[in-house]
């Protein structure tokens, strides 16, 4: 296996650090538009080399695939670049993996009740081409989407005979500490992606209705997260799990809710009111005295540039992050069942062990595990497939072998223990 990693930012850097400890591949090319950043990530292992890439250009990706005899392209950049990298991998004859899928477009007249273009639609439209070529595009294999999708497969195969709801529930008790020792506002993940997810109409799936949308931040609930994180208010957010799980796992309902917190929701709403969540460039006067006139600037790119790089926040972060899936329905024994399958990462641990903050590390570890399963032939397939299409047990076993075990909380068992 020869891997092309596109993107050497927070998640890409963590991916390289994790992969450096494994021996299932022959070589890795770490590519980024910023060659210095690629060289830094590539310096961790003699099997790595750095390259420059334009992720917006399929031909740039294809050229690297052909030049370095790449077998698998790993996409670790913002979802706006999914399709150029996806198409570039196909043109070069490589398999493909990503952690976020092609972007959605809200319904033009009923955005908060009907779906327009859904997440991943552009990729699934090309599934036949990938299958005919005998190559695999494994989509949504980060932590979310990714690990919760693996949990859905595990629950269907081993825990439940009927599933009422697959409810992805993510939350954290993370804080970023400023120079004065007090918490500051600094997102622990790409603000560009966070704005995209949180301000788009959230998608919900119901078996009798199909996919539909709601208002942003709808259906708030307080969810009690394990391992000391505790109760966090969660709201509906647009996310790929809802679009992936029902394709392979039979369920009556699928949802995704994220514990954003009151302050974060307030900031996102303000960005939206001011219009600086937009991606379309606006004309602003140039501040360069040598360049008079107007320049085109994307407001969302400005917001991202003004906030700290999430990859560099690890030393200032404290707390834990949790990704998981709450499954309700009927157990294999015919009795009602409610089980939370989850994965918690402590920032202190990920910084000490890998030098990367917990959110990007938790995102990056899952595609490394998936690539190892593909390399040894445990996972096989062709076409455009989600993690639910594969056996979950080898993945969960290997994740534990990587030193980051997953957990299971059975609500019925907890209730019985309290009696």
Between 418 and 280, the more confident residue is 280
Query: Residue 147 in 3-state DSSP?
Result: helix
Q: Give the pLDDT band (50/70/90) at residue 303.
A: confident
Residue listed under structure tokens 């320049």? 295
* Alpha-helix residue ranges (DSSP H) falling in 295-391: 299-306, 347-354, 358-375
- Contact yes or no for 46/25 (Cβ under 8 A): no
pLDDT of residue 407: 97
CA distance 109 to 49: 48
Would you state the structure tokens that stand for residue 51, as one six-digit string?
């390259």
- Say whether pLDDT at 417 is over 60: no
Q: Give the pLDDT band (50/70/90) at residue 418.
A: very low
- Say whether pLDDT at 365 is over 70: yes
- Say whether pLDDT at 315 is over 80: no
pLDDT per residue as tens digits for the range 350-362: 999 999 999 999 9
pLDDT of residue 182: 66
Q: In the chain, what percentage of residues exceed pLDDT 70?
A: 92
- Say whether pLDDT at 321 is over 90: yes
pLDDT of residue 189: 59
Q: In the chain, what percentage of residues exceed pLDDT 90?
A: 75
121-135, 163-177, 365-379: range with lowest mean pLDDT: 163-177
CA distance 211 to 300: 28
Q: Give the pLDDT band (50/70/90) at residue 297.
A: confident
Comparing C-alpha atoms, which of 139, 131, 112, 123 is closest to residue 204?
A: 112
At residue 23, φ and ψ (nearest 5 deg) are -125, 25
- Measured CA distances, 282 to 36, 56, 200, 303, 305 (Å): 30, 20, 20, 14, 16
Q: Give the pLDDT band (50/70/90) at residue 188.
A: low
pLDDT of residue 416: 37
pLDDT of residue 406: 97
Largest interatomic CA distance in the chain: 75
pLDDT of residue 187: 62
Q: What is the mean pLDDT of residues 42-55?
A: 96
- Measured CA distances, 233 to 102, 217, 272, 289 (Å): 28, 10, 21, 48
pLDDT of residue 339: 98
Task: Give the H/E segment covering residue 148.
Answer: helix 147-154
CA angle (404 as vertex; 401, 405 as ends), nearest 5? 80
- Say whether pLDDT at 4 is over 90: yes
The conformation of residue 142, written as its DSSP 8-state character, comes to: B
- Say whether pLDDT at 197 is over 80: no
- Say whether pLDDT at 68 is over 80: yes
pLDDT per residue as tens digits for the range 225-265: 999 999 999 999 999 999 999 999 999 999 999 987 777 77
pLDDT of residue 283: 84
Domains and their CATH numbers in the chain: 2-98 (3.40.50.720), 147-275+305-355+405-418 (3.30.360.10)
CA distance 13 to 19: 10
Between 118 and 286, the more confident residue is 118
Neighbours of 59 (CB within 10 A): 13
pLDDT of residue 415: 42
């Amino acid at each position: 296996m020869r891997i092309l990693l596109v993107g050497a930012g927070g998640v890409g850097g963590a991916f390289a650090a994790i992969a450096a400890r494994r021996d299932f591949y022959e070589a890795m090319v770490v590519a980024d538009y910023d060659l210095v950043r690629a060289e830094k990530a590539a310096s961790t292992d003699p099997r790595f080399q750095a390259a420059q890439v334009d992720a917006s250009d399929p031909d740039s990706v294809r050229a690297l695939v052909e030049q370095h005899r790449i077998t698998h392209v790993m996409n670790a950049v913002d979802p706006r670049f999914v399709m150029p990298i996806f198409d570039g991998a196909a043109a070069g004859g490589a398999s493909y993996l990503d952690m976020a899928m092609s972007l959605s477009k809200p319904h033009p007249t009923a955005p908060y009740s009907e779906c327009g273009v859904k997440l991943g639609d552009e990729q699934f439209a090309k599934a036949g081409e990938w299958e005919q070529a005998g190559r695999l595009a494994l989509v949504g294999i980060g932590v979310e989407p990714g690990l919760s999708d693996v949990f859905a497969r595990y629950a269907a195969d081993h825990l439940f005979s009927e599933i009422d709801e697959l409810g992805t529930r993510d939350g954290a008790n993370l804080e970023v500490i400023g120079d004065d020792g007090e918490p500051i506002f600094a997102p622990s993940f790409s603000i560009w992606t966070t704005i995209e997810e949180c301000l788009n109409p959230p998608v919900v799936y119901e078996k009798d209705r199909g996919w539909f949308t709601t208002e942003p931040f709808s259906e708030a609930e307080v969810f009690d997260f394990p391992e000391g994180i505790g109760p966090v208010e969660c709201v509906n957010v647009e996310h790929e799990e809802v679009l992936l799980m029902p394709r392979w796992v039979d369920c009556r309902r699928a949802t995704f809710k994220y514990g954003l917190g009151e302050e974060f929701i307030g900031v996102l709403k303000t960005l939206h009111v001011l219009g600086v969540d937009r991606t379309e460039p606006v004309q602003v006067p140039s501040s360069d005295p040598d360049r008079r006139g107007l320049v085109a600037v994307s407001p969302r790119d400005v917001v991202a540039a003004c906030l700290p790089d999430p990859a560099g926040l690890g030393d200032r972060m404290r707390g834990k992050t949790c990704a998981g899936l709450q499954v309700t329905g009927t157990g294999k024994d015919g009795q009602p069942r409610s089980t939370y399958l989850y994965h918690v990462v402590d920032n202190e641990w990920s910084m000490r062990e890998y030098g990367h903050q917990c959110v990007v590390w938790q995102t990056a570890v899952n595609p490394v595990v998936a690539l190892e399963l593909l390399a040894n032939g445990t996972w096989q397939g062709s076409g455009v497939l989600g993690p639910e299409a594969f056996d979950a047990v080898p993945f969960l076993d290997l994740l534990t072998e990587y030193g980051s075990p997953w957990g299971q909380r059975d609500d019925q068992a907890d209730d019985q223990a309290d009696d």
